[in-house]
Every structure is written in structure tokens, then in C-alpha cells.
Amino acid sequence: MADTFSLQRVLETFRSSLTENKEVYIKYYIAGWKELVSFMNSLGNVFSFISKDVICKIQILENFLSGENGSHYVTIQSMVKYELENELVDLTKRGSHPESGCRTLLRLHRALRWLELFLERLRTSAEDSKTSVMCSDAYNESLAQHHPWLIRKAVGVAFCALPGRDTFFNVMNAGDQVQVVALLGESLPLISEVYQITEDLYAKNNLLELP
Ligand code: 1PW
């Protein structure tokens, strides 16, 4: 993972994450998230408690991928099939598989929706728009529904400390604002496609509420 965030790399990793028949490579999905973590880190320390959880989830998935059953974790589709067939998922309450690949990836998947909504707001925002408002609107519309009160509070505090819109555009490291907006326009359909494929897969297998 490079230190400096680049929106271009996010675009490339999400592009690489789709197989020819529209499955999602976990390796690149994780790589995309690593880029996003480096983005969060460049926004300041307030985000460290958020990125810590994401890093922890990435690590769990990486361990599966490099473990002895790694070949079953090549795509999200193969992971779901493998874990379900071998009863490796706690379906209704946490039990003997508290950190299954399926439930871990579901957390990142929900967060990806937030990101998608937020970046779309940022892309279409006016110059005087507030990043904290865009971030919390996107959050309330998505991830917040899955978080308990305490986390929602803490996330809300972190949002208040967000830098302004100009800083966001600079941190994206993809040229001037017009260029960033163009690149966002290119990246978002890809992120959205990866999100939708995962969502459909989880819905089909009744996995959207995994504990
Ligand atoms: C500015 C762009 C930032 C986009 C990154 C979005 C990441 C959002 C992650 C929020 C994490 C808040 C703190 C941790 C909460 C966990 O309890 C929660 N994790 C997530 C990723 O939602 C649920 O995981 P758990 O507790 O069921 O293992």
C-alpha cells in the first residue's frame, strides 16, 4: 500500500476486482479498501478509530485468503458458497464462527454503500457544501442503520472534525477539481457495480443480516 492516496488507484483496484463473469475478487476488493484506509488516514487522526476497525476486517479476510483454505476465498461468490456449504457462518446469532468471511465482508460491504453515497454527494456538490453534512447524510442513509447509538455518536463527532471540501479534493491527488469530479464520475459506477453484485449475492443467500 502506498502512503499517498490516489483516487486513480482506487478506480484501478475496483476495476480489477471484477472477473469476466462478474464475480468479485476478494484480493482486489481488499486492495480497494486499503486505498480507502490510506485516504481516511490522510484526513486526520479523528478517523483512526474508524480505520482501525476496517483494518481489522481486512486482516481477517487476508488471513482466510492466505490460509490453508485460501483457494475458496478467491472471489466473494466462492467464499459464500464454501462457508455456507461447510456451515462456517453464524446465521442468526453469534456462536462458533464469530468472524466468518461472510459476516466480516458484510461490514465492509455496508460501509462501501456509505462511501458510494458520500462520493456521489461530493462529486455533485457546490463549492460551499460542507463535507461534514455530506458525510453524515450519506451515513444516516446507509451504515448508521446498522450501528448502535454509541458508535453513531462517535462517528458523528469524527465527521464534525472533517476538513473542508477543498482539502478533500486535494487529498484525492488527482489533479484540479474538474479532473477529480471527472474521475469520480468514472469510479462511482464501478464501486456501485461491485456493491450491487455483492448485495444481490447476499440477498439471494439471505445473508444481509448476519450477526
Ligand atoms: C471519508 C470516507 C470514509 C469511508 C470509510 C467508511 C468506513 C466506515 C466504518 C465505520 C466504523 C465505525 C467503528 C466500528 C464499528 C463496528 O462496530 C462496525 N464496523 C463497520 C465497518 O461498520 C461493525 O462491525 P462489528 O462490530 O459487527 O464487527
Domains identified in the chain and CATH numbers:
7-204 (1.10.3520.10)
**Whether the CB of 119 sits within 6 Å of ligand 1:** no
| Model confidence at 119: pLDDT above 90 | yes
> Nearest residue CA, atom 25 of ligand 1?
107
pLDDT value at position 41?
84
CA 102 to ligand 1 centroid distance, Å: 15
Cβ of 65 closer than 6 Å to ligand 1, yes or no, is no
* ipTM here: 0.92
Predicted local confidence at residue 3, as pLDDT: 58
Is the pLDDT confidence value at 1 over 50? Answer: no
Q: Work out the average pLDDT over 197-210.
A: 98
Does the Cβ of 50 fall within 6 Å of ligand 1?
yes
CA atoms of 202 and 25, how far apart (whole Å)? 15
The per-residue pLDDT for range 71-96, each reduced to its tens digit, is 999 999 999 999 999 999 999 999 99
Query: Is residue 50 pLDDT above 80, yes or no?
Result: yes
Q: Which residue's CA is minimally distant from atom 24 of ligand 1?
A: 107
- Shortest CA distance to 99 belongs to which of 73, 142, 68, 60? 60
Q: Residue 101 contacts by C-beta under 8 Å, 6 or more apart in sequence? A: 60, 61, 64, 73, 79, 83, 88
